[in-house]
């Protein structure tokens, strides 16, 4: 039995950028679209990531301005352990606290405190302009880290959106090229068959 020798296919890199008889104008356009698309996706990712990080930093700074810390008194003893099944938690428990606002009015609210804090203990809580207890603002290294993480998450998303748009344009170009090939084959195919038959 005669064995047919295996055909080796060599991949030619950057063929769209080289002069060759098989390269079409649409191939060059596609190459430029892909190149520009990668650059735009990279640029969009960097710009969007930096913008998101700066927006987060501004939000943290604005929240710090809108809140202020006060010294409050725990009015009832805090539980020894956090309630079970609380899911995301920082290990603290809820307790009722009392403090005197800037206007001299005595206010009470519930705030997170360390488990087991007895009544009468002083704790620091953060309040908003309405006099309600709010979570402590994110500051310092924690704010920098969260801003960086926000930028790191937004950057690839923005880049992927831009690249998705470029891919759609490239896909339409490929479909158009395939249609052109089909039309050319309809014209050349019959003549190719006649040439082959003549040689026989």
Same domain, 89 and 185: no
Same domain, 73 and 54: no
Same domain, 126 and 148: no
Same domain, 38 and 129: no
**DSSP per position, 130-175:** TS-EEPPPP-HHHHHHHHHHHHHHHHHHHHHHHHHHHHHHHHHHHH
Same domain, 149 and 185: yes
In contact, 133 and 126? CB cutoff 8 Å: yes
Number of CB atoms found within 10 A of residue 58's CB = 11
Q: Is 194 helix (H, G, I), strand (E, B) or coil?
A: helix
Same domain, 187 and 162: yes
Is 15 inside any structural domain? no
Is 12 inside any structural domain? no
Q: Domain limits at 163?
A: 25-61+144-195
Answer with the one of 118, 136, 154 that is the final residue of a domain: 136
Is 18 inside any structural domain? no
State the number of CA atoms in the 13 A half-sphere of 120 facing the CB: 0
What confidence score (pLDDT) does residue 55 get? 95
Is 40 inside any structural domain? yes
What pairing do the DSSP bridges indicate for beta strands 93-100 and 106-113? Answer: antiparallel
Same domain, 79 and 53: no
Per-residue pLDDT of the chain (200 residues; tens, 9 = 90+): 555 555 565 555 555 566 666 666 767 777 888 888 999 999 999 999 999 999 999 999 998 888 989 999 998 876 666 555 444 456 788 889 999 988 888 999 998 888 888 888 999 999 988 889 998 888 889 999 999 999 999 999 999 999 999 889 888 888 887 887 778 777 776 766 555 555 54
**DSSP per position, 5-68:** PPPPPPP-TTGGGS--TT--HHHHHHHHHHHHHHHHHHHHHHHHHHHHHHHHHHHHHHHHHH-E
What confidence score (pLDDT) does residue 114 get? 86
Which burial class, exposed, middle or buried, applies to 138 when counting CB atoms under 10 A from its CB (0-12, 13-18, 19+)? middle
Same domain, 97 and 153: no
Same domain, 157 and 128: no
Answer with the one of 113, 136, 159 that is the final residue of a domain: 136
pTM: 0.63
Instruction: Identify any residues that bridge with 96 across adjacent strands, giving them in sequence order.
Output: 110
Q: How far is CA 190 from CA 65, 126, 145, 181, in A?
A: 79, 83, 67, 14
Is 177 inside any structural domain? yes
Same domain, 31 and 81: no
CA–CA separation, 74 and 123 (whole Å): 7
Q: Is 3 helix (H, G, I), strand (E, B) or coil?
A: coil
- Count the domains in the chain: 2
């Amino acid at each position: 039995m005669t064995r047919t020798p295996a055909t080796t296919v060599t991949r030619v890199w950057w063929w769209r950028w080289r002069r060759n008889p098989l390269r079409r104008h649409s191939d060059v356009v596609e190459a430029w679209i892909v190149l520009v698309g990668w650059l735009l996706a990279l640029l969009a990712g960097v710009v969007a990531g930096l913008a998101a990080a700066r927006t987060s930093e501004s939000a943290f700074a604005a929240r710090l301005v809108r809140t202020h810390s006060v010294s409050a008194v725990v009015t009832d003893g805090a539980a020894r352990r956090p309630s079970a099944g609380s899911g995301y938690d920082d290990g603290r428990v809820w307790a009722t606290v009392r403090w005197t606002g800037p206007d001299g009015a005595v206010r009470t609210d519930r705030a997170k405190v360390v488990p087991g804090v007895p009544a009468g203990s002083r704790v620091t809580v953060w309040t908003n302009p309405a006099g309600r207890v709010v979570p402590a603002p994110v500051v310092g290294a924690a704010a920098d880290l969260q801003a960086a993480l926000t930028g790191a998450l937004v950057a690839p998303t923005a880049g992927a959106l831009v690249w998705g748009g470029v891919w759609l344009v490239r896909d339409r170009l490929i479909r158009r090229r395939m249609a052109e090939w089909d039309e050319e084959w309809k014209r050349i195919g019959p003549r190719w068959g006649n040439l082959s038959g003549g040689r026989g």
